Structure 1
Amino acid sequence: MAKIDPSLYLHNQKERTPSPNLGKDEFLKILMTQLKNQDPTNPMDDRQFVSQMAEFSSLEQMMNMSNSINTLVESQLVSPVIKYSHMLGKEVTYQSYDEETGKETEIKTSRVVAVSQNEGWAILELENGEKIYADAALQVNDPAFEETEDK
């Protein structure tokens, strides 16, 4: 009597997990397999082929556009200059320090005229010539809002 090879049992087979993503490489593999295995007496209609290539081109363009938008959004979120650009024209109140002793001196208020960055930190350049880190601001006021409120 012939023996059955135990490696052929179903419970010994590795489970294949399909990929949820179908990218352009997979699409091209499917298309090439389709072309290789088509019936030579009844080849694929050229209109179907053109239609599939157009779909592939459209898919690739949408993927490129999505990647470009993601890159743009990420670059805007990361840049401290863009993150704090809304501070331009605002008045900030901050604690000033004596450069020699490092001790607190007084609380000052000045208008933001520029935003720059240094080693990834946002620097607010003020109308009075001083520069402070954005997170050193104690209070932010909008002078334009206060002027319309007074009228």
Structure 2
Amino acid sequence: MINTGKNAKTKEKDGNALGKDDFLKILITQLQNQDPTQPLQDKEFIAQMAQFTSVEQLTNMASEMKLMRQSLGFVSGMIGKSITWTATDSSGASIEKSGIVDSITFKDGNQYANVKGEEISLDKLKKIENPGETK
């Protein structure tokens, strides 16, 4: 089979590592080449499917960890910055608040900037700037 330019630029991976696609190909090949008079026993098949599910979940976790590391690198740069956000006061009216970011917190997959003990969800931020700069 000739490798075209389209296929040549696919993801490079460690030659010793098997991914979930490789595992699925092996499983399909095994099913195609099994002896019809002695099919896989249920226990073996269920164990292989459980392994496949584990491989897939580990792959998903690795992807999520990579995203979190990238995200953490971005949001950690907010520490020491002045931020402005929209908050709701006790009467339910929207007010604009600002302060210097003390730290970043992760809870339930969401990121929060901490300003004097108050956690602000990053989706509520309106402005990020260096302290002392006003425009």
TM-score w.r.t. the length of structure 1 is 0.46
1:60 CA drift (Å):
0.6
SS of 1:52's partner is helix
> 1:88-107 counterparts in 2 under 5 A?
none
Partner of 1:141: none
Partner of 1:123: 129
1:88 CA drift (Å):
6.6
Matched, 1:66 2:65: no
1:131 CA drift (Å):
1.2
Question: If each structure's helix is expressed as a fraction of its own residues, which one has the higher value?
Answer: 1
> Which one of the candidate residues 77, 83, 93 is aligned to 1:83?
77
- In structure 2, how many angstroms separate the alpha carbons of the residues matched to 1:84 and 1:78? 8
SS of 1:131's partner is coil
TM-score w.r.t. the length of structure 2 is 0.51
- In structure 1, how many angstroms separate the alpha carbons of the residues matched to 2:20 and 2:28? 12
Structure 1's unaligned 5+ residue stretches are 1-17, 90-112, 116-121, 133-151
> What letter matches 1:30 in structure 2?
I
Partner of 2:39: 43
1:31-86 alpha-carbon deviations (Å, 9 max, x no partner)? 0110111111111111100100001101111110111011011111024xx3241x
> 1:6-25 counterparts in 2 under 5 A?
19-25=15-21
> Which one of the candidate residues 88, 107, 114 is aligned to 2:100?
114
Matched, 1:31 2:27: yes
> What letter matches 1:27 in structure 2?
F
- In structure 2, how many angstroms separate the alpha carbons of the residues matched to 1:41 and 1:75? 54
> 1:128-147 counterparts in 2 under 5 A?
130-131=132-133
Rg bigger for which structure? 1
- In structure 2, how many angstroms separate the alpha carbons of the residues matched to 1:20 and 1:63? 16
**Matched-pair identity in %:** 39
- In structure 2, how many angstroms separate the alpha carbons of the residues matched to 1:24 and 1:84? 37
